[in-house]
Amino acid sequence: MDKRNLTLLTDLYELTMMQGYYVENSANETVIFDMFYRSNPNKNGYAICAGLDQVIDYINNLHFDDEDIEYLRGTKIFRDDFLEYLRNFKFTGDIYAIPEGSVIFPREPLVKVIAPIMQAQLIETALLNIINHQSLIATKAARVVLAAEGDGVMEFGLRRAQGPDAGIYGARAAMIAGCVGTSNVLCGRMFDVPVLGTHAHSWIMSFPDELTAFRAYAKTFPTACTLLVDTYDTLKSGIPNAITVFKEMRAAGIPLKNYGIRLDSGDLAYLSKRAKEMLDEAGFSDAVISASNDLDENIISSLKLQGATINRWGVGTNLITSKDCPAFGGVYKLAAVKDDKNGEFIPKIKLSENAEKITNPGNKKIYRIYNKKTGKIIADYICLEDEILSEDESLMLFDPVETWKRTKLNAGSFEVKELLVPVFKNGECVYKSPSVMEIRDFCKKELDTLWDESKRLAYPHETYVDLSQKLWDMRYELLQKYHYQEL
């Protein structure tokens, strides 16, 4: 893909703080920032992490062009010596992240940045912009795919997306979460994913009649003939004319594959059942019945309950915009500052009258704990970087808020995996992103590690994210230091 310099894709206060660090001679102070989110979108039981590959592109191309510096100079906000300092700016720190396609949960770091404070501060806005958006759409798409119960879901949202980038990267995220293809041709080219589509009502309307339009389409695309049947009258005209064309194709010896009809309006449950009866009666029981028309996971689930015979779903506006939950609440918080004298990290905590906004301090890592027999997730376990979790020792899990809720895992009954992987070391990328289709396969396996109860569309079971005793003690000590009592 083409590289873009997104260095100024940032909030002004990132730059003003950078100048402040420069003036205070703290530009090279090493810090740790965590990116995490506080609650799942769509009241879901999980989220899907996406966007890391674009973060890598952003970091690799992070620099201030001469034009950038002259623009900043023209704002009359920044000192000349600071602007000259920016000419040689580059990222030299470390980044750890949870791989794309992973199932993720609230309050655990998705990205950990260890870098000089000016660098760590600058990348906040773009990092949040990229990961928040793609994780939001991937999570929404995962819900839609789940509702489809194994039927193919096609991402059809480009024309309703909030701009070109949202359309391109939203489609990418939807593919990661399990869509079988996208209508977005540029996304297909950029990320080597399948592109899918049929035709519009305008195709039908441009011919003298519907049957002529269907015949012309079948002649042009004999091996991908899906006919839109609701331009005039679905049951009296569209489906009968489609059947006529399919019969003509069969009589001409044209193999009928990747063929069928699309419904885009009306009572989809009723129309699909009648369409199935008509197609079966004509000998086309393997014809695909696809549907579009402002679908989402709830409508698809309802249509399934009504016995709709649709087996391919084109989902547009509600997916690409995540219409019922239009934002992913990722945040980026300072967790530690390095002591130059002894090289150790001093933990930092953000306090709030809202208990859920109190952060977890220190240099942390995350273990995912699985049931050894089922392979399902038991909990995620946030601990300090120097802690080692052993499968050969028993483990006590406890709720970080309601600490009396405790579960003991016996040695040998569970398996663990560390979630954060190194992406940048000393400013150099050490991670190679898989292809989108490889991430899609990985995401499917990740979703299989969730209990069915955690995947319910409504009122799902909550997967626990627990703190180690050592991290909990550090957090409590800092709360006491600042004379704060948790509500």
The pLDDT score that the predictor gives to residue 1 is: 43
| Segment-wise mean pLDDT, segments of 10 residues, the chain, 487 residues | 82 98 93 97 97 97 97 98 96 98 98 98 98 98 98 97 97 98 98 96 98 98 96 98 98 95 97 98 98 96 98 98 96 96 94 87 98 97 96 92 89 97 98 98 98 97 95 93 63
pTM for this entry: 0.96
Same domain (yes/no): 202, 261: yes
Same domain (yes/no): 285, 362: no
Q: Looking at the domain assignment, is residue 193 inside a domain?
A: no
Q: Looking at the domain assignment, is residue 146 inside a domain?
A: no
The pLDDT score that the predictor gives to residue 27 is: 86
Q: Looking at the domain assignment, is residue 315 inside a domain?
A: no
Q: Looking at the domain assignment, is residue 304 inside a domain?
A: no
Domain span holding position 228: 198-293
Q: Looking at the domain assignment, is residue 465 inside a domain?
A: yes
The pLDDT score that the predictor gives to residue 487 is: 45
Q: Looking at the domain assignment, is residue 158 inside a domain?
A: no
3-17: pLDDT as tens digits:
778 999 999 999 999
Same domain (yes/no): 443, 342: yes
Please report, for the domain that includes residue 405, its CATH number.
3.20.140.10
Same domain (yes/no): 131, 213: no
Same domain (yes/no): 272, 335: no
- Choose the final residue of a domain: 240, 268, 293: 293
Q: What are phi and psi of 262, to 5 degrees?
A: -130, 135
How many domains is the chain built from?
2
Same domain (yes/no): 469, 344: yes
Same domain (yes/no): 282, 333: no
Distance in angstroms (rounded) separating the CA atoms of residues 357 and 338: 23
Long-range contacts of 219-223 (CB under 8 A, 24+ apart): 222/249, 222/254, 223/255, 223/257, 223/258
Please report, for the domain that includes residue 273, its CATH number.
3.20.20.70
The pLDDT score that the predictor gives to residue 2 is: 52
Q: Looking at the domain assignment, is residue 487 inside a domain?
A: no
Distance in angstroms (rounded) separating the CA atoms of residues 360 and 467: 9
Q: What are phi and psi of 321, to 5 degrees?
A: -105, -5
The pLDDT score that the predictor gives to residue 306 is: 98
Q: Looking at the domain assignment, is residue 181 inside a domain?
A: no
